Amino acid sequence: MNTTKIDYKNIYYPPGGILIWIIIFLELITFGMALVAFVYDGTKNYEVFHQSKLQLNTTLGLINTVFLLTSGYFMAKAVHEFEHKNISKASLYLKITALGGLLFIVVKFFEYSAKIEHGLTPDTNSFYMYYWLLTAFHLIHVLVGLVIILWTNYSMKKPNSTTEAEDVKTCGAFWHMCDLIWLLLFPVLYLIF
């Protein structure tokens, strides 16, 4: 008889630690509820949402999707290299990850500037209220993620660094949450209605 022992450590201590996963879970619930409300309101005000969605720049949204997915790839590479004690490569990959996040912010700045220039603010209609709240809340997460990435990179490059794999995994988990949230926001905001 072959019995398999369950490794409860992996259940109670996921990569990055349980706290980051509680935060991720709560963030996903928050964004999920907002997206459900957005879709619900969109079905009630279809014409307003449809016309407003046509004013979004889908190309910029797609470019930002590529930036975040690419940066997510390099974040995974950074975790892998750190686990294999290749600090210089891990640092390089964290810098590329941060570059992807910075490029996302630059594109979002241009997109926001165009919206403001055309008078498309949260007061315009309910579509733009959701657009601004959801994308700005996500942008705050990206900014926090960049601070975490840069701090992690700085910490692991110090002589006699105490940075551990769990620290880098926590950084990666937060960054992948930003990717995932954008992968939910982009199609709902830019492609439906």
pLDDT in tens, the chain (193 residues): 555 555 555 656 666 778 888 899 999 999 999 999 999 999 999 999 999 999 999 999 999 999 999 999 999 999 999 999 999 999 999 999 999 999 999 999 999 999 999 999 999 999 999 999 999 999 999 999 999 999 999 999 998 999 999 999 999 999 999 999 999 999 999 998 8
Q: What pLDDT score was predicted for residue 19? A: 83
Question: Does residue 100 form part of some domain?
Answer: yes
Longest CA span, the chain? 71
Question: Does residue 135 form part of some domain?
Answer: yes
CB 126 within 8 A of CB 48: yes
Predicted TM-score (pTM) of the model is 0.89
* Joined tokens for residue 51: 């016309």
Question: Does residue 9 form part of some domain?
Answer: no
Question: Does residue 4 form part of some domain?
Answer: no
CATH code of 147's domain: 1.20.120.80
Residue 169's domain comprises 15-191
* Joined tokens for residue 159: 């002589």
Q: What pLDDT score was predicted for residue 82? A: 96
The structural domain count of the chain equals 1
